[in-house]
Amino acid sequence: MDKQKITRIYPTMGKTFFLTGMLAILFSCATADKASHQPQADIQEPVLKLKQLAHGFSQTLYYRSDNQQTAYKDTHANEQETPKASNTSYKDTHDSSTQQLAVATTYKDTHANDNEKLAPALNAETNDDTHTIELQLNEHQGISISNSHGKTRFIAGSFVLASAEIAEFENKQWVSLVVFNNNTQHIETYRLAPDTLDIQQQLTQSAKGSEAICAAVTAQGAQHIVNIDATGTLNQFEIHDNQFLPLRNFAIGPGMKSCSLDMHNHSIYLADEFAGVWKVNADIESELEKELVFHNANIAIEGVSTLSSNTSLFKGSLLGWVSPNKSGVWLQSQCQTEFITLQYDLAGVPQTIEPEFIHLAFYEYEKGPRISVIVDDDASGNFFSAELSSELSAAYFNHGCLSKDEEPIANGESRSPKYTLARVLPSAETQPVKNYGDAADDPAIWVNAQSPSQSRILGTDKKGALNTYDLSGHQQQSLAVGRVNNVDVGYNVAISDMNNSGETTFTDIAIASNRSHNSLSVFEIDEFGVLAHLGEIDTTLTDIYGMCLFVENGVAQVFANDTSGLFERYEVSFNKNKKAKGTLTQSFSLPSQPEGCVVDTHTNTAYFGEEGAGIWSMDISSTKHEPIFVSAIAPPVEADMEGLALFTVDAQTYLIASSQGNNSYAIYNINSKNADQLTLMGLIRITADMNNSIDGVSETDGLEVTNANLGGVYSEGLWVVQDGRNVMPSETQNFKLVSGARLKEAIRSLVSTKH
């Protein structure tokens, strides 16, 4: 867990992207109807003719006063087209103080037929409700904004533009602007009213510089921002409740020159001049891994841009990148990548460029979407535009593997087989554990019978301590007893002859598997929830791992397992001095590594989780019984299965198991007449509560749940889970708390769907 990985290094694609018969085959379907009118050379020639932009970059945004679907329009000069802006940052590397800079700019269609018209839905010239906003950025002076109502706004300063777009959510529209302020070294976001250009919101966030910055508005109307700072750290933010909400940060390394966000597919693309093009999952609960999309040791990639859409014409994404080492652009769809040479004419002589920046845009004609490309030239400082032919654009969005019916797969979910997924919000979270890496592991809940609101959560920091927390998540104790892995509690455990009177007294205990000593660490829990370490019980296990306990007639019994699959059952007794003794009563094995276990004393059934295989059950009424395999891990459940717990909803008992591979929890109905019969009802996922700045849960190891009334928000019980990636902001691991009421509603929704 929490290991940064590099996966799937794609082979070098450089020279093979030049046109061959492959290009003709790819686009043959799109061009068949025009083959008799289109010269063959035009189909095969992999060259785009560039047009120099005379006045640098400017951006035109389109919005509608009737709050219907917003149209986006990127223009320069007075040329009229309507593309949808994407989210690519541009940093001016030239010193011309008069150069007007902006991203998301396009140009007049020089290839379209005279009778080819813009789709009416996006044609500003035929819709009186459509209005324009013009944005120009001069890196050394500031940002000029004006609209078709004659309103103007100037923001002075030295800026790098991350994104400018019309955002729309819940029938509201606004101008969303994100920049990096070179003078203050702050990220700044602006929210402006389209009609008046009044600044409705202005927020700033300090940063350790910016090597690359990009932004995009999410489907929920939140501004999502990625900034790679001067330390080589990637920082993700979202704007919530009028403030920057840190989502996560992690080391990404040097060499990042630009980035682009594709929120449709939850992806961050990075141009790395040393490695190529990286893809990172934008989901903050995803595993920290980078996928190398493109690599060529002789080519330094400096610019990257994405183009994505949810429009009715297509649902997909296109990725483009450039290098100053090659006068061209790489375009990649879901199933193929092409290199297209870029040239411009100077006095009739073809010229090449050295691009460091790229922006992709699309706009919709009646005959389909068209793609535009904007690049710079590092050698001259000029900027150029080019447009893919209608055939080439159509090939990417139709025959280029971008099906209209395809939907992106959300992190950890699968299209097949069908299953029900319920989502719940966390109610609270504990303070992070002290140690870094994979440290927090397994929780337990001690219910205070006298004062339920003073109950305690026990949680292992498996790199050195057992911690306790109150119900608000504040740490109460940290006992440095060694590398404790799993923990469980027992109530009313007998202490023999406590008062030398022959009477038996009772106490509550906690026991944890201790990997420092291959032992069982034993603790007493007093009436206030304070733990006292009573000592260790030796085991014969060579690599102790998981454990659980139950109490029968005042005697605690413990199931402890080894990473080899070996289980040992101990009967625990205490003398008058509270010294614990463990008596080995049973041994058995599972085929591979187990960890989680839980005991249902009502049915005398223990459930064991074999991490990579599934669930076993065993009759505990006798030490002669052996476990039987009752449920295999199969989609949608994914290994590892490390945590198990029991919860009752509407008089029905359910087994909750961690489905670690997809950051979820499998809910199994336990047959009331046959405890060995489990029926999967669906999955539950704990998602982020942005309003209360509590992140969701990923890669859960251990979990625990109780039906006990703990008062307040937990009057219907409490569910506690380990969070493998603790973000918002990025910190060491911790435990998340979910109210029993929310868990019950989620399970009821699964049951109702199942029936």
Q: pLDDT digit string (tens) for 269-295? A: 999 999 999 999 999 999 999 999 999
Looking at residue 55, what DSSP letter applies?
T
pLDDT of residue 319: 93
Predicted confidence (pLDDT) per residue in 649-690, tens digit: 999 999 999 999 999 999 999 999 999 999 999 999 999 999
pTM, to two decimals: 0.80
pLDDT of residue 136: 85
Cβ-based neighbour number of residue 472 at 10 Å:
12
pLDDT of residue 544: 98
Alpha helices in 153-256 (DSSP H): none
Q: Round to whole Å and give the CA distance between 187 and 203.
A: 8
Nearest to 545 by CA among 576, 590, 500: 590
> If you search the block for the tokens 């932004």, which residue do you land on?
215
Q: Round to whole Å and give the CA distance between 62 and 79.
A: 14
Cβ-based neighbour number of residue 93 at 10 Å:
12
pLDDT of residue 442: 98
Q: Round to whole Å and give the CA distance between 579 and 558.
A: 16
> 335 burial class (0-12, 13-18, 19+ CB within 10 angstroms)?
exposed
Q: Round to whole Å and give the CA distance between 708 and 445.
A: 10
* Stretches in the chain below the pLDDT threshold 70: 1-45, 55-56, 66-128, 309-316, 363-369, 397-417, 497-502
Our CA dihedral for 484, 485, 489, 494, rounded to 10 degrees, sits at: -50
pLDDT of residue 140: 79
> If you search the block for the tokens 């206030």, which residue do you land on?
528
Looking at residue 279, what DSSP letter applies?
E
Instruction: Give the CB-side neighbour count of residue 418, counting CA atoms within 13 A.
Output: 2
> 283 burial class (0-12, 13-18, 19+ CB within 10 angstroms)?
middle
